[in-house]
Structure formats: structure tokens, C-alpha cells
Structure 1
Amino acid sequence: MISSLRGTVLSASGGTAVLEVGGVGFAVQLTPDHVLSLRIGEEAFIHTSMVVREDSLQLFGFVDREQLDVFELLTGVTGVGPKSAIGVLSVLSPDQIADAVAADDDAPFRKVSGIGPKTAKLIVVSLTGKLVATRRAVPAVASVRTPSSVSDSVLIALVGLGWPEKVAAEALADVVAETDEPLRDTVPALLRLTLSRLGPAAQGAR
């Protein structure tokens, strides 16, 4: 099995790159972002997974071991072939996949070309407990000084009420920046103030 390649990039376009290793050119299928990161004539190191079938032998490449591990988990899901798995990784990072699975949310997977509703749900069910979800701050409220647990709770509540996450996060950030500290430290108070801010724009935001 070929688990990695280090060689000179001969070509890189679409979803495929060719690496020359010891005089042999290896075609490797990659995510579009990975292809764009390569430079023809320069050396590259790629983690690979070799998929062997009766009528073909294909190499799929990854920027790191984490991507490779997620790819192999995805291909273990019924109905998800290697091309669909690389398609998922082209749209979602390993962290985003882990977060979606932890939240029992199959919506991100349904956005991937070739992944239908049933397969998306099966991915979530099959990968549950096999990935580690991460917590990342919402960019729009990254500078908020209020405790993350309070702002996070308010943001979740707003999204649950039907507000788009970006709109809710921006309004929350504005409210926190303009509000005295005591009122920022409790969920009910901060939620009430943010809803007041969102109120006039409700019709246009939905």
C-alpha cells in the first residue's frame, strides 16, 4: 500500500495532481484547495490512501493525517465511496465534520454534491463517537468581553428563534460593545437587549 508520497509536482489542476517520485509519475486525487496550494516544479509531501478495485487503482491525497483518517472513516459508511468522501472534505474541514456529527446535524453533508438526505443521515449516525468535536468562537463576537458561556447561550437562543447566525452574531456584538458590564453577564438581560436591537430589522433579516 502507498501511504504517502514525496516528490516533484509535475501538474496540478482540477482535482488531480501528478507527483514524480523516483522517475515515476503518480496521479493523486485531491481536494480543490489542496491542488491550489501546490506549485509545479516544487517538492510536495502528500498523505495518501490507495483504493484498489477490480478494474482500477486510485490514489487519494491529503494535507495531513487528520484529513486522511476522516476520509477512511467516511469511506467506511455505506453508500459513501472515495469520490464522495473527498467531496465531503472539499466542502468541510475535519473540525466542521466532527462538530456536525456531535450536533447530530446532517445539513452540512446534504450540501455536498452526490450526498443525498439518507446518506447524510447515515454519515452522522455512523461517525458518532468516532470524531472529536471542537469549540470555536463565532468570528462576529470574537472580541466580545462578556463570558463566552453567556454570549454563546444568547447566540444559540437567537438562532433557535429563527434569526440567521450572522445577523444574530453581529447584533449581539454591537449590544455587548454598547452595554454596561452588569447587563452583559446574564443570559436573560443580554438576550432581551439583543432582541430589542434585532426587532426593527426583523422583517428584512428573515
Structure 2
Amino acid sequence: MKRVNMTSKILTIVTLLLGLLFSHAVLAVDIQDIIADCNDCHGKNGLSVENDIPIIAGQSYLILEDALIAYAAKERPCIDSKYRHGDINRTAITMCEVASKLTKNEIEAISEHYETLPFVAIKQDFDAALVTRGAAVHKRNCEKCHSEGGSLADDDAGILAGQWTAYLRTAIKEYLEGERAMSDKMADKMKLVKPEDFEALLSFYASNTAQGDSK
């Protein structure tokens, strides 16, 4: 009888282990499919080649996770976006739609995936005459959170240096118009930046591509 009970316990444990292995394998396949879908907008390995879509490779886990949670809750603008790679004839979709379909585990897995990839700063046009002024505005108002000229992921504040200017310009507009939530500290700092100084900031960030080889 004891031998039968022991055999039964062993079979139960083996069955549970096989079930766990199978579920992890299925999750891994699902995540790869989701990541492939992400790349169809954000570019191969999260390195966007479209100026209205941000580079997500190399951003911190916290920044990526917070963004997906915010979109799922419709706390950011839900703008239709066409697929830029793969089957570009697919129906346009919003980040809110994408994020709302993700489970907690999927959000975590996606954030972990892109955090491990290298951020590659993009080379783009900027107004060289505004760079020095933008650097001063950044140092005075932004450096404490976005250190080293906004080039570090470890700040958990988002990499600004080398990010697409058009995307950053839209994000700033959304913050100023209350369409994106921000901390009280950030809101106070944004109020100190003159409207004309935002373009100087953008030129400064576009000029700072030291944290990665540009495309």
C-alpha cells in the first residue's frame, strides 16, 4: 500500500512539473508573438525608424511597465497608429487597445525584454544655435531626474537624449495639455520652462547621441 501511495505521489509531482513546463513554453511562444507585433510598429528590437514612434529598446523596466499600464487604463492619448512593418495593411490600432489585452505577466515579460536591449540614439536634424541654450535649460530644470543630459535608463525617467524629436515634442504637448499624467515635481519644473525653451531642449537632446551608435 505504501509503495502504491508513493508511486501515486511521484506521478502527481511529475504531472505538475510537466504542466508547469508546458505553461511556461506556451507563455514564451505567446510573448515572442507579442514582441513581434510590438516590433511591427516600434521597429526591429524596439529601435524605431519612424519619428512619431519612440525607441523603446534600452528603456528601464519601470518606464516600460508604467507606460503599458497607463495605456491600458487610457491615461494617455489613444491615437490610431498604422503598422509600419510586416503586414502594413492591417487595421490601425492604438496603444490603449494593445496594452488593455495584455496580462500582468505579459506586461512584465515585455518590459524585461526591451530593457535588456541596447538603446541606439538616432541621428536627426536639430538647430545647432539652440543647443547651448537647451543644455542650460536642461541643467537648471531636468538634470536632477534626467541625469547626464537625459541619457541614462537607470534614472527610471526615460531616455531623452537621442530619442526621436517629433515623439518628444508630442509628449511634451500632451503633458502641458494634461493628456499625460506627471508627478507634481515634474509639473512644477515644466512650469518654469518658457514655451520657446522647449524647442531648445529638443535640439539639445537631439544633439546628444553619446550613449549609443546612431543609425
**What's the TM-score once normalised by structure 2's chain length?**
0.29
Higher relative CO (Cα under 8 Å, sequence separation at least 6) belongs to 2
Instruction: Compare the two structures and name the one with the higher strand fraction.
Output: 1
TM-score normalized by the length of structure 1? 0.30
